[in-house]
Amino acid sequence: MHDKGDHYEYIAVYADDLMIASRIPEVIVKANIDEHNFKLKGTGPTEFHHGCDFYHDKQGALCYAPKKCIDKILDNCRRIYCTWPKAAHSPLINGDHPELDTSDLLNEDDQKVYQSLIGALQWVIQIGRFDITTSVMTLCRFRANAWTRLPRPGQENPWVSFKDAPHYNQNQDQRT
């Protein structure tokens, strides 16, 4: 953060990615290229960064939302389950108690699919969809040993609170 008197300039660094917030970002980009010999690509207004879409709302405020990330999760669900998740108005199903499940455990391949989808939902939380934290945290309890009633590829009616969590994300106001 750099105080410029009437505004601040920010440079956020994540591994080898930079996000520059400034009234005149070109000056910072030029300094990084000329003075520090950085090889920068994709300079210009930010449209997508670390799973988030960046856009301006009707009032001109800069907003971000994980739209593309959620779309990718939905595409993966469709590819795995051969169907789109059902519309959901809540990330949790009232009265569902996965901790009481007594069905068989998933096989190794299905367990990997489950863990992959959980990881994707955890990333969505990290980039702004905090409203699904409780449901994903509940599902995370079963990462190591999930039951067969949890979603499996080709299964007709997989566990709704897992499979439909991405669709719940898609239905919500994406502005974060």
Q: In 3-state terms, what secondary structure has residue 3? A: strand
pLDDT averaged over every residue in the chain: 76
Going from the C-alpha of 90 to that of each of 99, 129, 132, 168, the distances in angstroms are 19, 13, 9, 6
Amino acid at 136: V
pTM tops 0.75: no
Distance CA 134, CA 91 (A): 8
Q: What tens digit of pLDDT does each residue of 52-108 get?
A: 889 999 998 988 888 888 888 888 888 877 777 667 666 666 776 767 777 777 788
Tokens at 141, concatenated: 């309890």
pLDDT above 90: residue 15: no
In the prediction, which pLDDT does 157 show? 40
In the prediction, which pLDDT does 58 show? 94
In the prediction, which pLDDT does 152 show? 46
Distance CA 160, CA 149 (A): 10
Which segment of 91-95, 100-104, 160-164, 169-173 scores lowest on mean pLDDT? Answer: 160-164
* Mean predicted confidence (pLDDT) in 120-135: 86
In the prediction, which pLDDT does 108 show? 83
Q: Higher model confidence: residue 80 or residue 166? A: 80
Q: Higher model confidence: residue 128 or residue 172? A: 128
Q: What tens digit of pLDDT does each residue of 20-50 get?
A: 888 888 888 898 889 988 888 878 888 888 8
